[in-house]
Structure 1
Amino acid sequence: MNAVAAPVLADANVRTMLAQFGLDVEYTRSEGNALHYTDEEGREHRVVDFACGFGSLMLGHNNSEIAERAKQILDAKIPVHTQLARHSHTNDLAAALNKIIQRELGTDEPYYALFGNSGAEAVEIAIKHAEFDRLQRAQELLGGIEDHISAARAAVTEGTAQVSPEAYDQVGVAGSTRFEDLIAEVRRRNEAAAATPPLFLTIEGSFHGKLASSIQLTYNEMFRTPFKALSAQARFVPADQPDALAKIVSDERVPVLDVVVEDGTVRVVERDFPVFGAFFLEPIRGEAGIRPLSREFAQVIEQVCAELGCPVVSDEIQCGTGRSGAFFAASHIGLRGDYIILAKSLAGGIAKTGVVLVREGRYRQDFELIHSSTFGKDSFSSLIALKVIEMLEADGGQAYRAAVERGDKLKAMLEAVRADFPDVVKDVRGRGLMLGLEFHDQSEAASEVIREQTQHGVIGFAVAGYLLRKHNIRTFTTASALHTFRFEPSIHLGDEDIAQLDTALRAVCEILRRQDENGFAVV
């Protein structure tokens, strides 16, 4: 009697879609830079993994040192959850991260750590802290204006100052000469300005998560638009366009009115209300197509944010923890974020954690009283993250050098493919072990199949399925650049793995060059 198959109740729609392209593989074993699955004939296949948990496996699948440390922690019965207690392991982790910040970013200013259980949650924490900070800045500004009003009132009452006639015209109470009319209108306008909802700044193509708030910082409209009403909005700045950033800041400017006494005259002056909560950026935009941020634009962003008084948030969730050849990808461009976000590889691909590091000058200590996370700052993930840092820092940072060496070799191969197929491959980008290869757009392809797959946004899945079935290569396109394939392997990437990818990509290029109707077909 045949067994009845269990109903598919988890990711049923996604599983159906994957099956269309031969991607519905269940992996049963993983180690280093490889995954293994068993086919229907019982044969095991080794797959070279260039996706590696979308950048989560800098040290590889099931790293033996990390796995052994996890066993030690569990065998020692170290408490995992002890909320509202002292957390020495978490503090040790924050201290270890601060040492790296001092070395790579060149600052002695401490960064305070706020922990969550994922990258997306860490982004949410950063959004919340930035909004908490913005409201404090707003209250300080409005409170200062009230102090100025009181001082001006006293000066007018004592006869030591007179209200400038232009002040009444400026606030729209022309014809009045009553000081209190002026103040009532100033307060009314300031109250209206204070009700302005916050805005965040980020860069076109950015990806900062898919939770209720973080999704509004993610550029892809398919992900973002259905949930637009749920959270504060973002303005997306074209990369490396300072004039566009300046225009956005100017267009969104919200003034408040201040009353000051100067040389015996009461005047009304404008101040900028803090509308912008923060500027979120990725030193290497992964989902935009593996695009490093330029040093020049990073400097512009820092300057603009300093003038606005809002923090720069460096999202290193995907590009950080050594993947670029340094612990912080921002160190390559001289960027020193006010906030730094880490996750993914920080816990070695075994535990789950995320952290927001906030420099002391921007940190609001009271935030700790209104935010918490059940699975944030647990001992298990903190101790695993400490082990990851120990491994990355060992032998004078050998892991970083390996990321550079392996990345350079992989990039050289990708560049060689591009050189041999310039009509098929448009660009190769990235740094270290975070690389992208962009194919030319196939929207007008001669092949009807390839053309329609491109126009329906599934050509990436078709190619990924072909790479898996025919060449035992696992990789995918980026979320917002569907012609760019990502390559984010671990430092255990071997020469034979690179050669295997070389063969596979050249086969893809031949199919696209020939416009083979059945080249990517699932058979």
Structure 2
Amino acid sequence: MKNAPLKTVKDISLTNAEWQARKIAAIARGEGNLAPVYIERAENAEMWDVEGRRYIDFGTGIAVCNTGHSHSKVVAAVKDQVDRFSHTCVMVTPYDTAVRLAEELNRLAPGPSPKKSIFVTTGAEAVENAIKIARAHTRRRGVIAFNGGYHGRTNFTLGLTGKNAPYKTHFGPFPADIYRVPYPINYHGVSLDDTLHAIEMLFKCDIIPEDVAAIIVEPVQGEGGFYPASDAFLRAIRDLCDRHGIVMIADEIQSGFGRTGKFFCMEHSGIEPDLMTVAKGMAGGFPIAGVVGKAEIMDAPLPGGLGGTYAGSPVGCAAALAVIDVIEEEQLVDRANHISSIFDARLKALREQFPALIGEIRTDRGAMMAVELIQDGDPSKPNPELVKAVVGDAYQQGLVILSCGVRGNVFRFLPALTIPDALIHEGLDIFEKCLSRMIDA
């Protein structure tokens, strides 16, 4: 039997359930989907599925559409670029948009040191290339990462990632020379001293500091539960790296481009990383990623040692330049802090209703916000079942929300930085009703 055509008039009227059945038959189960909702169009902070149902989007494709879905300036930049050309390969015959984007990222990156950038396609590629650059610069092998960290789905980045299910299950063995230590989370009784002691013991028992190329850290842990790194923690890592000649890598893939109330989250601490990985919110939904860092370190690899066929796609570069313009012109960094203030007030009021179930509320890093659900008011008793139930019910009620956390008990809120206040309140009304309904169920 011949394969069905990709799209027919009849396809347009298919339901979400019918598309989901076709998806299950056609796409490997490992590439799952959170909800059987098939989007037909989206604008700013709203989406409409193939059945015409409307959704308020508190996920933005996992912190990708910081400037909202289909921002007019991003769309115009992409159309203009596609009209001119879609690909030549930046390593063969480059183009001005790649140069201009690198200049912009170098300008925006935290710290006074001269910067350089490279471009790749995905966040995982950015992390892998940051490690390559660090190893080339130091001529060392070891990499230190943190429990609960998430750095991608390639084999090497899974080795760095400190969350097993579902990312690492059945995929080992993972590369050697990766070492992991606790991430300081006061809410769960892990202090900064605990972390620093673990690193000290690592140096005594597993790898000497002179063999460590890099320490990679998320300034806000993403998949791990939206736990922000304290300024003291980041200063301690900076000092440790300076003391031992180790490259400090900040993974800003989820936290960058205005998301946390600074253009890059590391600005909150006033600390300059040696290298920084970027992706997600960089280009409004078009696939591009990069590494930005101190010029002397970035230049360590030999010519041809970095890159990829689609690295620095001209379409992605054009979109990213437009995103940067929109963030600055519409003052979306400040807007992230305003969004956070609304969520903070609403979520704290909700906690007063359910103090035994709503644990920590994390709203101090702009529009990268989270609520942790527990049982009996005890942080050591996670409540992933309630989180899963609320997420599922929210989709039924027209709200897209995401969960995260090593224990699966955290709601994460990532609305577009362009979302109107009225939509925030409407979405939170839905969230509150879903939570109350699932608690009573």
Q: TM-score, normalised by structure 2?
A: 0.85
Q: 1:14 to 1:72 in 2, by over 3 A?
A: closer
Q: Distance in 2 between matches of 1:125 and 1:25?
A: 34
Q: Distance in 1 between matches of 2:173 and 2:85?
A: 45
Match of 1:235 in 2: 180
Match of 1:26 in 2: 38
Comparing both structures, which one devotes a greater share of its residues to helix? 1
Shift of 1:365: 3.5
Kindly indicate whether residue 264 of structure 2 is the aligned counterpart of residue 338 of structure 1: no
Kindly indicate whether residue 436 of structure 2 is the aligned counterpart of residue 510 of structure 1: yes
Match of 1:412 in 2: 345
Q: Distance in 1 between matches of 2:86 and 2:391?
A: 42
Alignment of 1:34-113 (within 5 A): 34-39=46-51, 44-77=52-85, 79-101=87-109, 105-107=110-112, 109-113=113-117
Shift of 1:55: 0.4
Structure 2: which amino acid aligns with 1:122? A
SS class of match (2:85): coil
Greater C-alpha radius of gyration: 1
Q: Distance in 1 between matches of 2:361 and 2:70?
A: 29
SS class of match (2:402): coil
Match of 2:252 in 1: 316
Match of 2:423 in 1: 497
- Any gaps of 5 or more consecutive residues in structure 1? 139-197, 256-270, 445-450, 517-523
Alignment of 1:432-471 (within 5 A): 432-441=366-375, 459-469=386-396, 471=397
Q: TM-score, normalised by structure 1?
A: 0.72
Q: 1:488 to 1:87 in 2, by over 3 A?
A: same
C-alpha deviations, 1:438-481, integer Å up to 9, x for none? 1124899xxxxxx9xx88x6553322111111x21111211424
Aligned with residue 240 of structure 2, among 304, 308, 314? 304
Match of 1:117 in 2: 121
Structure 2: which amino acid aligns with 1:28? E
Q: Distance in 2 between matches of 1:361 and 1:355?
A: 17
Match of 1:422 in 2: 355
Q: Distance in 2 between matches of 1:362 and 1:382?
A: 23
CA contact (8 A) 1:347 1:384 kept: yes
Structure 2: which amino acid aligns with 1:388? V
Q: Distance in 2 between matches of 1:89 and 1:10?
A: 35
SS class of match (1:373): coil
Q: 1:502 to 1:129 in 2, by over 3 A?
A: same
The 10-residue stretch of structure 1 (75-84 or 326-335) with the greater mean CA deviation from structure 2: 75-84
SS class of match (1:428): strand
Shift of 1:248: 3.4
CA contact (8 A) 1:418 1:427 kept: no
Alignment of 1:13-412 (within 5 A): 23-39=35-51, 44-77=52-85, 79-101=87-109, 105-107=110-112, 109-135=113-139, 198-222=141-165, 223-224=167-168, 226-232=170-176, 233-239=178-184, 241-253=191-203, 274-349=210-285, 351-394=286-329, 398-412=331-345
SS class of match (2:168): helix
- Any gaps of 5 or more consecutive residues in structure 2? 1-9, 12-17, 186-190
State the aligned residue count.
Answer: 412
Match of 2:5 in 1: none
Q: Distance in 2 between matches of 1:200 and 1:492?
A: 37
Structure 2: which amino acid aligns with 1:346? M
Q: 1:112 to 1:428 in 2, by over 3 A?
A: same
Shift of 1:428: 1.0
SS class of match (1:386): helix
Q: Distance in 1 between matches of 2:423 and 2:303?
A: 46
Q: 1:228 to 1:77 in 2, by over 3 A?
A: closer
Q: 1:459 to 1:418 in 2, by over 3 A?
A: closer
Structure 2: which amino acid aligns with 1:490? A
C-alpha deviations, 1:397-448, integer Å up to 9, x for none? x12121221221122212221122212211210321110011124899xxxx
